[in-house]
Amino acid sequence: MFIVLVIPVVRPLGLPLPISDMTRESYQAVENVPSGSSVMIPVYISIGLWPEVEPGTIVMLKHLLRKPVKFMIVCWAADEPKLMEGALAKVADFARENNKKYGVDYVNLGFIPGMETAMAAFAKDVPATAPADTYGTPISQLPAMSGIKTAKDFALILYITGSDVAAMIRQYVSAYGSKMVAFATIGWVPSFTPYLSSGQLVGLVPGVTGGAQYELLMKSPGAGLATTDALSLGFIYLVILAILGNIMWQYTERPSLRTKTSKEMS
Amino acid sequence: MSALKRREIWITITAICGLLVIFEYFFAIQAAKDLSVLIQGWAVTIAGFAVGLGLVNLGVIHIKRFTRRDANWYLSGWLVFVMLLVVVLGLTLTPSSPTYTWIFQNVYAVVGPTMWSLLGFYIASASFRALRARTLEAGLLLVSAVLLMLVQAPVGALIPYVPSIAYWIRDVPNTAGMRAIILGTAVGAIGLGIRTLLGQERGYAT
Amino acid sequence: MIATGRVFQLLALLFVSGSIFYFISRAQKGKVPKLRSIAGLTAIREAVGRATEMGGTVMLIPGIGGLTTVEAPETVAGVSVIGYVSSLAARYGTKVVSLIRMPEVVPLAEETMKAAFQKEGKLESYNPEMVRFVSGDQWGVATAAMGIMHREKVAANIMIGFFAGEALALAEAAAGVGAIQIAGTATNTTQLPWFATICDYVLFGEEVYAAGAVLSENPQQIGSLVGQDPPKMVAFGLILLGIVLHLLSIDWLAKLMKW
């Protein structure tokens, strides 16, 4: 398994990568955000799963920095402000090239404890729930936050998650009619398809694969594209193991076949 | 003081706050909204203290293990030391400082994904050992798993017919099953809410 | 007065709450409904018996969830299973160990296990070390569990509660030591396929809540569980009606639900 995953990272194979409808719709949703609007980026992901969504997050931030929109990051767990600080540092050059400044065009509001309670409180009254950013600067001094009062003031929500999306759907989509795209780990995709088919999610970017596809759409290759070869081989290896396991089970452990073989041999 | 310990008081407070927040959601009354915002703000503050409480709890348990020389007591000592170090650094230098950032990015942000990566090897072992077509249902699970794993592999999505069948499995039977589970969970959550408001939820009201 | 677009939601909430409240009240008055038997629960006794014969340990993991979030009912169900298994373990003299991830669950698990031993008249056999808070991190719990499975010869692994990514690792590790496994989870269904393929018995979704209610012998929990059935039946009826109306291109039901 280790060999199968490491070799393509060290020596890329250049395997093709088709772009899924999910990722294309997500890209379009961000592309369609009107000029001058504000976008909310809530984050709820454990540090262990961060590498899976990081490529998608980086390219999504670049997409937002390229557009005349503002965005604010808010975190529902304690690890995430530092993770997003790291992500913003990785796109700092891109922000400078596009004349985007922290505080004016984007803000990191940091960690708000309480999970769904925090989500509900933030949606209802943003300034009361997040009176300062993660560095302690009052939001009254941050032009990026001007005019933001409730969830209705966000044109789009880009939810970065390694967990269920139901709480955000309840507190934002159902309550305020917000539009939401999820940047989720691949394991959660089957659980999110009902929300996608009902329109409660307008897009879904699944894990590293989705991040790589987004990089292709943005024409901005990054860590996602660099690992798709490893991902391809890894999944194919698992499929081979599953098939091989069944073939070996058929010829060794399955009772009727073993008896038949013994009879034939005698 | 003993009157304050009566659980009926706390259950009543919980019920009033819970019902007010529910009332505000359904009825467009400004006074209810203002009160709801206030209560939810208090809840966020309490949740912040709960994070600290978790830290203290963890510290107390591991300090006891260290002082009593229980099994692997030295690991408990190391945990307490690292925990205190990071807390002190965060409070004195702030989380934005280069030292704190270095520890976060080069220790914590590395150890976490490393632990998660163990799962890859367990998945490989489970794919070989556990995905056996012993019954019809297990066979269907195997076929679905193989197709969906293939389509997750970017190059696997180029194999003819695999994407259409795999996406059908994901978008039709899987979505139907997930909808049922979402409905069940939602109704169950209402049940949990009612039991909490009535003070009958174990673990909260005991 | 009622906020726009929330009338149907309010009526639905009132109906669901009313049904649950009605059945809780009935249960409190002694009319406790009967629940169907669940294979996984019946197998728990077999699992503990097997561990006793082999001189092995029974491992109990009530999930990695806490008591203050949506996972709370699963965690409570897991703790109810701890109580039941501890009774059996006390009766048969089997070693039992429970691993906990969230600190707030520890006192509940300790109290439940101790009460179980006391009920069997074996309080002197109870040891607080049987309930172990190993880490606040899910992978810390998983790696600790894997180590204990090998060192303490775990012969039965019972995991009922909320699980995330570590579920597969736990199940595989227990399978590696040859333990009989009973697992169940309700809200995080992404782990169910792994439990279904690796474990001997699985409790799906509502069965976890039913297990908790049955084993706790708490009438309010059983009443609450049964009270959820009428709303589900109504939802099923609405789905069928919606399918028929949609095929006839009639949209009044969709409009009603957005009222």
The residue written with tokens 């032009």 in the block is: A143
- Using a CB-CB distance cutoff of 8 angstroms, which residues of chain C are in contact with residue B58? 103, 136
Number of domains in chain B: 2
Residues of B in contact with A201 (CB under 8 A): none
Asked if residue A158 lies in contact with residue A63, where contact means CB atoms within 8 angstroms, the answer is: no
Instruction: Please say if the pLDDT value at position A27 is more than 90.
Output: yes
pLDDT, one tens digit per residue, over A209-220 is 999 999 999 999
- Is C185 in the A-facing interface, judged by CB distances under 8 Å? no
Q: Is B99 domain-assigned?
A: no
Nearest CA in chain C to B60: C103
CATH code of the region C44-222: 3.40.50.720
Higher pLDDT, A127 or B202: A127
Interface of C with A in 108-137 (CB under 8 A): none
**Nearest residue, CB atoms, A187 vs list C139, C187, C190:** C190
- C17:B141 CB<8 A: no
- Would you say A101 and A69 are in contact if contact means Cβ atoms under 8 Å apart? no
Q: B127 CB near a chain A CB, below 8 Å?
A: yes
Judging contacts by C-beta atoms under 8 Å, the chain B residues touching residue C12 are none
Q: Does B52 touch chain A (CB under 8 A)?
A: no
Tokens for C115, please give them. Answer: 């009460």
Residue A52 is predicted with a pLDDT of 94
CA dist., res. C138 & res. C110, Å (int): 20
Q: C134 versus C237: which is more confidently predicted? A: C237
Average pLDDT over residues C48-73: 88
Rounded Cα gap, residues C185 and C201, in angstroms: 12
**DSSP sequence for A1-16:** -HHHHHHHHHS-----
A-chain residues near C188 (CB < 8 A):
164
Inter-chain CB proximity C187 and A164 less than 8 Å: yes
B89 in any annotated domain = no
8 Å CB contact of B133 and A246: yes
On whether any CB of chain C is under 8 Å from the CB of B201, the answer is yes
Separation of alpha carbons B155 and A12, rounded Å: 14
Complete DSSP assignment for chain C: -BPTT-HHHHHHHHHHHHHHHHHHHHHHTT-PPP----HHHHHHHHHHHHHHHHT-EEEEEEES--SSSTTHHHHHHHHHHHHHHHHHHHHHT-EEEEEE-STTHHHHHHHHHHHHHHHTT-GGG--GGGEEE--SSHHHHHHHHHHHHHHTTEEEEEEEEE--THHHHHHHHHHHTT-EEEEEESS-GGGHHHHHHHSSEEEETHHHHHHHHHHHT-HHHHHHHHHTHHHHHHHHHHHHHHHHHHHTT--HHHHHHT-
Q: Which residues in chain C have their CB less than 8 angstroms from residue A190's CB?
A: 190
Q: Do B174 and A20 touch (CB under 8 A)?
A: no
| Cβ <8 Å between A47 and B112 | yes
Q: Is the pLDDT of residue C187 over 70?
A: yes
Is residue B143, in this structure, part of any structural domain at all? yes
> How near does any CA of chain A get to the CA of B178, in Å?
6
Interface test with C, best of A47, A53, A152, A164 (most C CBs within 10 A): A164
Closest CA–CA distance from residue B140 to any residue of chain C (Å): 12
**DSSP assignment, residue A165?**
S
Residue B154 lies in a domain: yes
Q: Provide the pairing of β-strand C201-204 with A106-111.
A: unpaired
Contact, C99 vs C198, CB < 8 A? Answer: no
**Which distant-in-sequence residues (6+ apart) come within 8 Å of B42 by Cβ?**
none
Confidence of residue A202 (pLDDT cuts 50, 70, 90): very high
Scanning every residue of chain C, which has its alpha carbon at the shortest distance from the alpha carbon of B198? C21
Q: What is the mean pLDDT of residues A189-218?
A: 94
End position of a domain, from candidates B43, B73, B103: B73
- Whether B112 maps to a domain, the answer reads no
Q: Is residue B84 part of a domain?
A: no
Cβ neighbours for C201, distance < 8 A, ≥ 6 positions apart: C39, C40, C43, C181, C182, C183
pLDDT computed for residue A262 by the predictor: 42
In chain B, which residue's Cα lies nearest the Cα of C77? Answer: B202
Strand order in the sheet with C95-100: C131-133, C95-100, C57-63, C154-162, C180-185, C201-204
Q: Quote the mean pLDDT of chain A.
A: 90
Residues 6+ apart with CB under 8 A from B35: B20, B24
Contact map slice: B 2-31 vs A, CB within 8 A: 21, 25
Cβ–Cβ below 8 Å for C1 and B28:
yes
C230 Cβ partners below 8 Å, 6+ apart? C19
Q: Please report, for residues B116, C58, C61, C68, C170, the alpha-carbon distance to residue C157 in angstroms, rounded to integers and kept in the order given.
A: 22, 6, 8, 26, 9
Residue A265 pLDDT > 70: no
Contact assessment for residue C60 and residue C149, using Cβ atoms and an 8 Å cutoff: no
CA B167/CA B173 separation, integer angstroms = 10
- A183 pLDDT higher than 50: yes
Chain B hits for A5, Cβ within 8 Å: 120
The pLDDT value recorded for residue A65 is 97
Please give the average per-residue pLDDT across A106-120, as a whole number.
93
DSSP annotation string for C6-21: -HHHHHHHHHHHHHHH
Query: How far apart are the CA of B137 and the nearest CA of chain C, in angstroms?
Result: 10
Run means of pLDDT, 10 residues per run, chain B, 206 residues = 70 89 90 90 87 81 88 88 92 90 92 87 86 86 89 80 91 91 85 81 54
Mean pLDDT (chain C, rounded): 89
Q: Which of C69, C164, C188 sits opposite A115 (nearest CB)?
A: C69
**Mutate which of A239, A247, A249, A252 to test chain B, going by most B C-beta atoms within 10 A?**
A239
Find tokens 């509900």 and name the residue: A120
Place of tokens 């098939």: A243
Of B22, B138, B204, the CB nearest to C67: B204
Give the pLDDT of residue A260: 42
**Partner residues linked to C132 by β-bridges:** C99
Within-domain flag for B147: yes
Instruction: Over range A218-234, report the average pLDDT.
Output: 89
For B138, residues 6+ apart whose C-beta sits below 8 A from its C-beta are: B131, B132, C197
What are the chain C neighbours of B111 within 8 Å (beta carbons)?
A: none
pLDDT of residue B206: 45
Q: Residue C224's pLDDT is what?
A: 87
Closest CA to C156 of C173, C181, C131, C175: C181
Min Cα separation C144/chain B (Å): 11
| Minimum Cα–Cα distance from B33: chain C residue | C3
Q: Flag whether B58 is in a domain.
A: yes
**CB < 8 Å to A168, chain C:** none
**pLDDT per position as a tens digit, C96-135:** 999 998 888 888 899 999 999 999 999 999 988 899 887 7
Note whether C62 and C22 are within 8 A (CB): no
Angle between helices B162-171 and B173-197 (to 10 degrees): 30
Q: Are A41 and A158 in contact (CB under 8 A)?
A: yes
Bridge-partner residues for C183, per DSSP?
A: C159, C202
Chains that touch C (3 or more CB pairs under 8 A): A, B
pLDDT of C12? 92
In chain C, the percentage of residues whose pLDDT exceeds 90 is: 54
From chain A, the residues in CB contact with C139 under 8 A are 48
Range of the domain at B164: 133-189
The CA distance from C17 to B187, in Å, is 9
pLDDT tens digit sequence for A48-96: 899 999 999 999 999 999 999 999 999 999 889 999 999 999 999 999 9
Chain C residues lying within 8 Å of B118, measured CB to CB: 139, 143, 169
The whole-number pLDDT of residue A81 equals 94
